[in-house]
Amino acid sequence: MKAKLLSKLASFKQARNARKLKNNVPRWLMWCIFALFVLYAITLLYPFLWMLVNSFKETSEFLTHINGFPKNWAFTSYTNGVFRYGSASGMNIVQMFGMSAILTIAGAFVSVFFSCCAAYTVSKYNFIGKKLIYGVAVFMMVVPIVGSLPGQVRMMQDFKMYDTVIGLLFLYSGAFGLNFILFYAFFVNISWSYAEAARVDGANDFIIFFRIMIPLAKGPIIAVFILQAIGLWNDYSTPAIFLPSLTTLAVGLDEIKTAAMQQMDYPAMFAAVMITVLPMLVLFACFQKTIMENTIIGGLKG
């Protein structure tokens, strides 16, 4: 008993010494850096908290009483204010929200699904062109071809997909991006013996993929899905160019901002920002651990 306690104490001491050794930075420097960290965190948080608080003021109150909490908390900018402004295409904020939600969920689904399929096939099967596909995926990440935007517009018009939801989803369904590399790295390290065991039981390649491999890759798939969804929700350029008549929230927010600023209707503008930002903050907060574990550890290497 005593020996056990002693060994425990020793290991505790060892851990403490290791930590002491790790924190070999002088104290004063540590506190200076800490102050910098706090400062940077404040610059990130403060504007949004300030907007949140001010979105509960009436327009007249905001103009006379800018700093501090509202004297009476009013929800008018959420119930009326944000509806006063719409997009150039004539959509109000609720319609834009719906549009964004549809595109985000469907877009994240097709993009993750196809990159998962492609990454699995390329990593686990041998066929002609396997190396070419992987090489092209890496090359596309490293070398940007910027002149292709006008060509892309022309292609979408040629295929009659310009300004349609299907067209936008088609653009989002690209399989060979960063997600492909992430899934590839994951599947390469999964042992093939799972598949062999299933094959003995009579499973074919499709069953192996959908019943065994996808459940095994649940963690990375959820993490990539959430990150992709956040990216699509926030995407500005693709819907702005390829879907001009159906405005998404990220694009519409810019139009609402301009219109509300002209009317000096700041609380409504802040409310619109909050409506855009909050869903993703909630999503991130819920899946924070999965995202951090599966993407940061996987890393990004070129």
Site for another protein in 129-168 (CB under 8 A): 129-130, 133, 136, 140, 142-155, 159
205 interacts with another protein by CB under 8 A: yes
Among 197, 254, 263, 286, binds another protein (CB under 8 A): 254
**Complex with another protein: residue 74 or 249, whichever CB lies closer:** 249
Among 92, 164, 234, 290, binds another protein (CB under 8 A): 234
Q: Exposed (0-12), middle (13-18) or buried (19+): which is 198, by Cβ within 10 Å?
A: middle
Binding pattern to another protein, positions 273-302, x when CB under 8 A?
A: x--xx--xx--x---x---x--xxx-xxxx
For another protein, how many residues bind (rule: CB under 8 A)? Answer: 93
Provide the minimum distance between the beta carbon of 21 and another protein in the complex, in angstroms, as a whole number. 5
**Complex with another protein: residue 2 or 289, whichever CB lies closer:** 289
Provide the minimum distance between the beta carbon of 126 and another protein in the complex, in angstroms, as a whole number. 4
184 interacts with another protein by CB under 8 A: no
Provide the minimum distance between the beta carbon of 197 and another protein in the complex, in angstroms, as a whole number. 14
64 interacts with another protein by CB under 8 A: no
**Complex with another protein: residue 84 or 257, whichever CB lies closer:** 257
What DSSP line would sit under the chain, residue for residue?
A: -HHHHHHHHHHHHHHHHHHHHH--S-HHHHHHHHHHHHHHHHHHHHHHHHHHHHTTS-HHHHHH--SS--SS---HHHHTGGGG---TTS--HHHHHHHHHHHHHHHHHHHHHHHHHHHHHHHH---TTHHHHHHHHHHHHHS--TTHHHHHHHHHHHTT-TTSHHHHHHHHT--SSHHHHHHHHHHHTS-THHHHHHHHTT--HHHIIIIIIHHHTHHHHHHHHHHHHHHHHH--HHHHHH-TTS--HHHHHHHHHHHHHHTT-HHHHHHHHHHHHHHHHHHHHHHHHHHIIIIITT----
Binding pattern to another protein, positions 75-114, x when CB under 8 A?
A: ---------------------------------------x
18 interacts with another protein by CB under 8 A: yes
266 interacts with another protein by CB under 8 A: yes
Provide the minimum distance between the beta carbon of 216 and another protein in the complex, in angstroms, as a whole number. 17
